Structure 1
């Protein structure tokens, strides 16, 4: 069985990350999962922004947590013609049947555990906080923070979770393991030892895609959904991953 493709911030190699256009393109390219990062605005709204500050991805400057939703909406994001930050609720509305949304809560942040509480409340309003089973859930919650994962497990025990990790060891919690591709390159036995499905990020190099398939990674997060699917379905020669 081929790994499932999760579009990292949308088809972000082709279009600006965390824009509806990038997510719509990812779906058109065949992604069966969409990944986003969420932060809280100053007035408590969940918005899809990776960085602590808006400087890199918008026309403005400053920390997301110090700006209201109205102020974030005045900015242009990723060179878009129309201003407006992507709300998590808009992404939930875009989600078609059979496609999962992988939501990463960012930490450390100004508002601490409030982001998980707000997230679970939003999912509950959409009828997504209590899926029939974790395998049937339309949403997966991820974090590099063990405290965040435990908060989600406490607030919404039916939601599947991922404990993200880089090279450093992390607590063995969460329903899926979430290593970086650098971790798998350094330790190819990781997947076998994980004892649970593995979500690997962020995989763009064809050799890395093939490595994930060979090791049995179940979910591949990539900026290039179309290209990654071509590698998985095709006969691209295996080469050493680029460093």
Structure 2
């Protein structure tokens, strides 16, 4: 397996024939959007510090791959063959790669909050998407973008900035029961459910679909969860193990 949120990871996913990809975005100190899950660089690089306090040039000096060994244990040899493997991935580089595929790949972009930059995250995201022609709805031979967040305020900002981009309201296991009856905030038509919610309360899937909402479930890695999602008619499964899930679905 490739290191998370690297171009190598997404290229591998493309080669597997996945229907879509997911990424998390954060702003650097000099306001570049980078694809990093964690608030800090410590876990997935050889550096330390909060992403939002580091400039892109500093983040590009770090190794974002050697922490993750390949299936054969050969992290360093792979780095020699592909130095790009350990380079931090900017959203623009990912969008370059996605648009070059000339496919309607579902592209889920999560804005991470809270952040010191507040609404600047969404403004920068819309600027980037607009540059690639991705703010006017789903088009042929282009990625089909969905913006996701646990922050309702972030989704409200996105709706104001790019009303044609579909939004996904992410819901954790500990979420208020308001969303359990199938209701969603105005302007949001997709719910992203923690797989733990679906395990405990599978009827929530139909509750949302009866209201015309799509249902995405994360993170679907276990075979029993894949089977459950298929039986329930979940619209999208988000997984860290695409090869295994696709094999089960064949």
Report the TM-score when normalising by structure 1: 0.86
What does residue 42 of structure 2 align with?
A: 55
Match of 2:214, SS?
Answer: coil
Gap runs ≥5 in structure 1: 1-13, 234-243
CA distance in 2, matches of 1:215, 1:24: 30
Superposed CA RMSD: 1.5
In the alignment, does 2:169 pair up with 1:163? yes
CA distance in 2, matches of 1:137, 1:98: 5
CA distance in 1, matches of 2:15, 2:193: 27
Aligned residues between the structures: 218
More deviation, 93-102/151-160: 93-102
What does residue 189 of structure 1 align with?
A: 203
CA distance in 2, matches of 1:155, 1:209: 35
CA distance in 2, matches of 1:119, 1:84: 21
Contact in 2 for aligned 1:153/1:159 (Cα 8 Å): yes
What does residue 95 of structure 2 align with?
A: 92
In the alignment, does 2:134 pair up with 1:131? no
Higher helix share: 2
In the TM superposition, 1:166-177 aligns within 5 A as 166-167=172-173, 168-169=175-176, 172-173=184-185, 174-177=188-191
Contact in 2 for aligned 1:30/1:226 (Cα 8 Å): no
Structure 1 residue 72: deviation in Å? 0.4
Give a deviation string over 1:158-188, Cα, whole Å, max 9, x none.
0001000111136613221110100100101
Which of 210, 231, 240 aligns to 2:227? It is: 210
Structure 1 residues 132 and 207, CA gap change in structure 2 (3 angstroms): closer
Structure 1 residue 50: deviation in Å? 0.5
Gap runs ≥5 in structure 2: 67-74
Structure 1 residues 16 and 132, CA gap change in structure 2 (3 angstroms): closer
Runs of 4+ in 1 over 6 A off after TM superposition: none
Match of 1:198, SS?
Answer: strand
In the alignment, does 2:80 pair up with 1:74? no
CA distance in 2, matches of 1:71, 1:202: 31
Structure 1 residue 94: deviation in Å? 1.2
